[in-house]
Amino acid sequence: MNDPVAAKRPAGSGDPGAARGVAAAPTAPEAPIPPTPEAPVATKTPHVRPGDRIFRGLATGSGVFIVALIGAIGLFLIIQAIPSLGLNNVNFLTSREWNTTDPANLRFGILDLLLVTIVISVVALLIAMPIALGIALFLTQYAPRNLARPFAYVIDLLAAVPSIVFGLWGLFVLGPVLFPFSEWLIENLGWIPIFAKGNVNVQLGGTIFTAGIVVAVMILPIITAVTREVFERTPTMHIEGAIALGATKWEVVRTTVLPFGKAGYVSASMLGLGRALGETIAVMIILSTTSAAFGWSLFDGGATFASKIALAAPEFNDPRSAGAYIAAGLVLFVLTFVVNAIARSIVAGHKEYE
């Protein structure tokens, strides 16, 4: 049945090739140099079909579009921010004041926003990093094989909960639960600056402490997912070698998985940091605003870049005062850009993760 078809095809496809071979062979000896380059050129530039050209153009255009888009984000934010920065009556980087109600007298500085943003992110990272490491190890090394996938799905579910729901939960449910603990910390460890009595009412729960915990929960899935992916690529040979040497489970992890995945874990944590820096709604809902300056306590209130912008967003009407918030957004953009770029470059330096 198949024989005639099979016999026909090689013959059919072989013919033109054979013909070319024959044609090429005689030209070579007759005119050694000029015709030979011509022949391959003629066969190497195939006719490009218009459909191909259009499709290729569309695909490449989309690639260019995304590159241009990031440039445009930076560019437009800068264009909008510059006039307001020019009108600013205080130093943008070192002032703690933020008053844009009178467009004729703009006074805005980002120092407090920057500090609160960083402190919340660091608190979140300190909580999330060890837990995410534990979960990644659990999912790749410890969990029963047939349960690892469902367990991973459960952790991914955390990422599916909208941040506004986390915010509402943090303010209405977690805040009151944390209050006795916070109060105890303030009373007994208040002499340490980070546990000092803050500038907002602790009873309402709208502190950096609460916000940091909620943001930690929110960045947990991303850190876990990336770390897990790297841990999964630990060469089986390494693991089996360690087992053959009589290592316990923990020694296997410590001598093979952790050294192999360390860079990936650091990179994953940087990605988590990027998320934490830009987290908007949960922080906006939880954090109590205050006009008092940030005092390095976990029980302070205040605002992050993102929450400050989100709070003021509905009243963006004057381009000059909106420009002040856009300048803050620009700083946030640069911050997350740098953090994400570092995270990516760490992974890019490790070919074994590919």
Partner 1 sequence: MSTNLADPTRLATPPTFQAVSLARRIKNGFATTLVWGAFLVAIIPLVWVLYTVVQRGFPVILDGDWWQKSLSGLLARQQGGGAYHAIYGTLVQGLVCGIISVPIGIMIAIYLVEYGGRSKLSKATTFMVDILTGVPSIVAALFVYTVWITYFGFGRSAFAVSLALVLLMVPVVVRTTEEMLKIVPDELREASYALGIPKWKTIVKIVIPTALSGILTGIMLALARVMGETAPVLVLASYAPFINYNLFDGPMASLPLMMTNERNNPTPAGFERIWGAAITLVLIITLFNLLATVISRALAPKTK
Of 98 and 325, the one with the shorter C-beta distance to partner 1 is 325
Task: Report in angstroms how near the CB of residue 184 gets to partner 1 at its nearest.
Answer: 20
What is the C-alpha separation between 218 and 120, in angstroms, rounded? 13
Q: Is 302 in the site for partner 1 (CB under 8 A)?
A: no
Interacting residue with partner 1 among 86, 319, 349, 352 (CB under 8 A): 319
Task: Report in angstroms how near the CB of residue 67 gets to partner 1 at its nearest.
Answer: 5
Interacting residue with partner 1 among 178, 185, 268, 339 (CB under 8 A): 339
Q: Which of residues 3-42 bind partner 1 (CB under 8 A)?
A: none
Q: Which two tokens stand for residue 19?
A: 């013909």
Interacting residue with partner 1 among 39, 111, 131, 263 (CB under 8 A): 131
Of 154 and 293, the one with the shorter C-beta distance to partner 1 is 154
Alpha helix ranges (H) inside 233-257: 236-244, 249-252
Output the 3-class SS for 93-124.
Answer: CCCCCEECCCCCCCEECCHHHHHHHHHHHHHH
Q: Which of residues 168-227 bind partner 1 (CB under 8 A)?
A: 168-169, 172-174, 217, 220, 224
Of 165 and 293, the one with the shorter C-beta distance to partner 1 is 165
Of 172 and 184, the one with the shorter C-beta distance to partner 1 is 172
What is the C-alpha separation between 344 and 353, in angstroms, rounded? 12
Task: Report in angstroms how near the CB of residue 336 gets to partner 1 at its nearest.
Answer: 5
Q: CA angle, 292 as apex, 286 and 296 as ends, to 5°?
A: 75
Q: Which of residues 54-83 bind partner 1 (CB under 8 A)?
A: 54-56, 58-67, 69-70, 72-73, 76-77, 79-80
| Segment lying near partner 1 (by CB under 8 A), choices 31-39, 95-103, 232-240, 242-250 | 242-250
Task: Report in angstroms how near the CB of residue 117 gets to partner 1 at its nearest.
Answer: 11
Write the DSSP assignment of 272-337 as a string of letters: HHHHHHH--HHHHHHSPP-SSPP-S-TT-----HHHHHHHHGGG--SHHHHHHHHHHHHHHHHHHH
Interacting residue with partner 1 among 11, 154, 189, 192 (CB under 8 A): 154
Q: Per-residue string for binding with partner 1, 81-120, x by CB under 8 A?
A: ----------------------------------------
Interacting residue with partner 1 among 24, 92, 138, 295 (CB under 8 A): 138
DSSP percent split of the chain into helix, strand, coil, nearest 5: 75, 0, 20
Q: Is 322 in the site for partner 1 (CB under 8 A)?
A: yes
Identify the bridge partners of residue 98 per DSSP, sorted by sequence position.
108
Question: Which H/E stretch holds residue 258?
Answer: helix 258-278
| Segment lying near partner 1 (by CB under 8 A), choices 37-45, 106-114, 198-206, 324-332 | 324-332
Interacting residue with partner 1 among 15, 38, 52, 102 (CB under 8 A): 52
What is the C-alpha separation between 353 and 145, in angstroms, rounded? 22
Work out the burial of residue 224: count CB atoms within 10 Å of its CB; fewer than 13 is exposed, 13-18 middle, 19 or more buried.
Answer: buried
Q: Is 123 in the site for partner 1 (CB under 8 A)?
A: no
Interacting residue with partner 1 among 266, 337, 350, 353 (CB under 8 A): 337
Of 218, 207, 193, 205, the C-alpha closest to 124 is 218
Q: Which residues contact 36 (CB under 8 A, 6 or more apart)?
A: 27, 28
Task: Report in angstroms how near the CB of residue 3 gets to partner 1 at its nearest.
Answer: 20
Q: How many CB atoms within 10 Å of residue 255? A: 16
